[in-house]
Structure 1
């Protein structure tokens, strides 16, 4: 999710839950490295294009069988009383054809690449490019109670659910130096 103070979020208060948007509940955790391969049930390659000046993300997912999934996502932050609980905001997804994706991919954007590993109950993102060395695990929930009850996962270093620096919209604009400083705050020093 992007920084709520960025230009892309100006006017976010005008967005309301409705017919298409759903509440997104997730908790995010830093890991010192990728999950043990024996715990991984599936992997997929993800390319996210954060469209410049918007709250929109264009996502391309390559599944293990070579199938491609393409979607346009809007994430709108929601107020979180107390600042915790995993409620990130509202999310709306629109699935796209190859032609629709290719057209939208011509728009200016910043790009993130990552490998997502399913290691139940977590989805673990292993980042590439300028974010190499960053490994984020997340768990999604259907209720606030589930989010609150979720135990801190073994092997994780810190919970970063409420740290906006570890959201896609912020990470895409982070420099390598930024990332290394943020990870060092948690005792992580990737090469």
Structure 2
């Protein structure tokens, strides 16, 4: 697939952290609920800022890249009205919740539910060169950019026991 009028290339690198960042380093926080529609490449997202304001509602399609590295593939976002979101939210889905903390240049996801204790950081880039040149900040335990187990589509169906095993491979103990 080639980029079209609406799809854009998504470049990101992902890192495991031992824990959440210090509160003083956080510039913004959002509570995110992702609904992955089974059998599709579609994700319905509700993102609410902790400091108020209306929610951001969107439907996302991700088409994975066929090569390793920071290019994750193509991503298309469609922003939704509350009525559109509610209609799509009535479809069966696997649900993932997390709090996204902005710690520039990273977005740090602190997971809840059965994934409580998982902390993933990601950085997004405008070019392959910028992605390759990025040096992760201190506190990044391991890079998991190419480990598909640490993508939302995989994590949404992961049990706590399975997650503990995956983290153990990187020397992280799930409490």
Alpha-carbon distance, 1:190 to partner: 2.1
Q: Which residue number in structure 1 is paired with residue 39 of structure 2?
A: 53
Post-superposition CA distance 1:119-166 (Å, at most 9, x none): 011000000001000000000000000000000221010000000000
| 1:79 to partner: Cα distance | 1.9
Instruction: Name the CA distance, whole Å, in 2 between partners of 1:115 and 1:137.
Output: 12
Alpha-carbon distance between aligned partners in 2 of 1:132 and 1:155, rounded to the nearest angstrom: 19
Distance 1:46 1:157 in 2: 24
* Number of equivalenced pairs: 174
**Equivalent position to 2:21, from 35, 38, 47:** 35
Runs of 4+ more than 4 Å apart: none
TM-score normalized with structure 2 length:
0.97
Q: CA RMSD in A?
A: 0.8
Q: Give the deviation of 1:16 after TM superposition.
A: 3.5
* Structure 2 gap ranges (5+): none
Q: Distance in 1 between matches of 2:60 and 2:2?
A: 15
Does structure 1 residue 65 correspond to structure 2 residue 52?
Answer: yes
**Alpha-carbon distance in 1 for matches of 2:136, 2:43:** 29
Q: Partners in 2 of 1:106 and 1:161 — Cα distance?
A: 32
